[in-house]
Amino acid sequence: VAEFITVDNIEDLAAGAAFLGTGGGGDPYIGALLCREALERYGPVRLLPLAEVRDEDALFTTAGMGAPTILLEKLLSLEDADSSVRALERHLGRAATAMIAAEIGGINATLPIAYSAMRGLPLLDADGMGRAFPQLQMCAFNAAEISCAPLSLADEFGNFAIIEADTAHKAEELARSLVVAFGASATMSCYPMTGAQAKVGAVAGSMTAALEIGAAIRERSSDGDPVSRLLDVLRRQPLYGHAYRLFDGKIVELQRDTTRGWVVGTCEMAGLDDTRRCLVKFQNENLSAEIDGVLHAIVPDLITIVDLETASAIPTESLRYGQRVVVVGCSAPRQLRTPRCLDLMGPAAFGLHQQYQKIEHLALELNQQLGVPDASELTQRETN
Amino acid sequence: VAEFITVDNIEDLAAGAAFLGTGGGGDPYIGALLCREALERYGPVRLLPLAEVRDEDALFTTAGMGAPTILLEKLLSLEDADSSVRALERHLGRAATAMIAAEIGGINATLPIAYSAMRGLPLLDADGMGRAFPQLQMCAFNAAEISCAPLSLADEFGNFAIIEADTAHKAEELARSLVVAFGASATMSCYPMTGAQAKVGAVAGSMTAALEIGAAIRERSSDGDPVSRLLDVLRRQPLYGHAYRLFDGKIVELQRDTTRGWVVGTCEMAGLDDTRRCLVKFQNENLSAEIDGVLHAIVPDLITIVDLETASAIPTESLRYGQRVVVVGCSAPRQLRTPRCLDLMGPAAFGLHQQYQKIEHLALELNQQLGVPDASELTQRETN
């Protein structure tokens, strides 16, 4: 397990975070670029295991909020991130002793790394989701009753806001309105917490998971298919475990609307070797995967569209007509599958009509229907 | 000149503020009700002449933001006002030593009175507009380079926000977005300032003016027409001076849309004794008055639609089909007629295509065209 994030492993982390971002969170290479500069300038960032955080530590998050498309155009800067974190520190009258990522997906996994480097602070090997989600209340911190507010938002012109809200839903609503007024993107710091709170609410080990997943994607091994290698590594992850190659195909339909600070739409793929069709719905992040109308995976389980040749995750805004891709699904971290979390970030929270079913149950059921003999391996994995 | 606002003169002040609100700012009687309760409970509020404020005084405003229609439905409370003022005091690390009204129109003239009573603070005999305007940057404070931010916004559920913005326009944009997210109305505190700043930026004497105008409207004198009495008092006001009975008519057309926290629309009247038509445009406040297509008054000069029988101002949201009304126009305080203020709150700021012309010039011109012999009185009044 890595003890530091350095210029040598930052690309791995960014590639892993892009996978865990399940389509959301923007281009990982832009995030990696920002990190590389910061790590070169300020030195490595120490990864602090969740178990080693002190109860009295003051943890702060830093993240971009807004449609990834716009975040990319405006390119988050460390100065903007600093503006929002410092505003929240002043408001609370306490300074950060460590940073924690709100989500392990996309640039919101990498921004805290660059920022920790600049501030010379350790970064927790943990986050608030074990993946990425488009709204503030969709967070394990919230499920653990850690308050999303006070939160701060800042733009690149020195404008900022502090919001106090009695629920994370209200914080999301108020912050979203401001993000739109800030020009559809802003940096923010939310869920300020103590070490003691993080131990209860955070998803442990997700930075390490991103590093390992990214390494699997980046390795140029000679032994065949990169997607199989990715699946093998996912299956060894304590946070994920159940991983499936859901669909091989090429993109034949794309619908994307940028609205209220999100990218909302669908991606449809046609099978490479068959006539099947796969439909992935997204709101920044991918929400569900259906093949010929049959559900194969649904949020909060992870659905990522990866490049067929490289296994690199393709962010929602980089999907292109004709791309040859694989739809990979894997199980969500255990703590996202509780009833409380399913209320916050299950299908109904996104307006989907399907009930949540664990990806491994869906797979088992489908294999049984198809009479696939070797379903035993799936049954053995029923430990999550 | 009154030294205190008490239960005995609060109705006068509210009636005067309704006139100076030029259609915006909600029902004055609701504002008066809130004040009456507070004045009975906490005692009178001392009116502090602008010249007597100490340079080091910490002045805070309190106001409702949002469409008057909604403000009326939700009914601002002193607790909500307190929530936003206290949030700003905490943010700035200093406590209010006196209050100042942001605008002298409608409930935003009366809310500071009730709040000053509750806090036991003096209230300045002054405000930021000498009338009312629908946006934060449309303020003499802004023209005097007093910063609108930091400002605070609060709703009735304990949610609040602090906004820092480098311009009043940006503050307006950010605050407006939040007001919509807060449910189309909120209490706010903006333009925190010192006594020294107020002496430069505030419109002096406007609370006294509201008291005198309100007394003229309320008096039940026997000698004839209440609108003539109102005009007489307006003409004696150092802040206003030029006052005109622009049109007598009944309302024949009304268009009102509530959008982005404003009430936007038009009111058309038909002459009582002739076939002329008068059109008044508004965005919360009345913006222009045209008779048969000819401009008679335009913002920032004041245009108020009053009841024909009582001379009481009719707020935009209380205009009704068939009402018999008089359109009264009067000159804006001198400091609103500077080029800087005309940029901020002249016709172009509201998307009107007409150039600003002083109401007394328009009247003179029209009278000359009509060959009215007695235009000399108008010429004599050219002192503003």
| Confidence (pLDDT) at B373 | 57
Chain B residue with minimal CA distance to A91? Answer: B91
DSSP B173: H
Which two tokens mark B225?
A: 């027409």
Does B135 touch chain A if contact means CB atoms closer than 8 Å? no
Residue A70 pLDDT > 60:
no
Confidence band for B75, pLDDT divided at 50, 70 and 90: low
Q: What whole-number distance in Å separates Cα of residue B84 and Cα of residue A24?
A: 36
pLDDT at B382 over 50: no
Q: Looking at CA atoms only, how far is residue B132 from chain A in angstroms?
A: 24
Query: Is B92 in CB contact (< 8 Å) with chain A?
Result: no
Residue located via tokens 């109705």: B11
Q: How many CA atoms lie within 13 A of B360 on its CB side?
A: 20
Percent of chain B topping pLDDT 70? 93
ipTM: 0.77
- What is the identity of the amino acid at A138? M
B127, pLDDT greater than 60: yes
Name the 3-class secondary structure at B25.
Answer: coil
- Tell me how far apart the alpha carbons of residues B133 and B203 are, in angstroms, rounded to a whole number: 14
For residue B1, give the DSSP letter. Answer: -
Strands B58-60 and B98-101: parallel
Q: Which residues of B touch A165 (CB under 8 A)?
A: 159
Give the one of B162, B166, B180 whose C-beta lies nearest to A161's C-beta.
B162
pLDDT of residue B381: 44
In whole angstroms, what is the distance from residue B241 CA to residue B126 CA? Answer: 17
Q: Which pTM value belongs to this model?
A: 0.84
Q: Find chain B residues with C-beta within 8 A of A65's C-beta.
A: none
The β-bridge partners of A329 are A244, A303
Between CA B176 and CA B185 the distance in angstroms is 9
> Cα–Cα distance between A371 and B362 in angstroms, integer?
89
Q: What is the mean pLDDT of residues B267-283?
A: 94
Q: What residues contact B106, with CB distance under 8 A and at least 6 apart? A: B17, B18, B21, B24, B25, B26, B28, B31, B68, B132, B315
Res. A365 pLDDT band, cuts 50 70 90: confident
Instruction: Read off the pLDDT of residues B215-240 as tens digits, 9 standing for 90 and up.
Output: 999 886 556 789 999 999 999 999 99
pLDDT at B153: 96
What span, in angstroms and rounded, lies between the C-alpha atoms of B371 and B354?
A: 24
CB atoms A177 and B173 under 8 Å: no
User: Is residue B321's pLDDT more than 90?
Assistant: yes
Contacts of A160 in chain B (CB under 8 A): 163-164
* Helix axis angle, B10-20 to B107-119, nearest 10°: 140
Answer yes or no: are the C-beta atoms of A12 and A211 closer than 8 Å.
yes
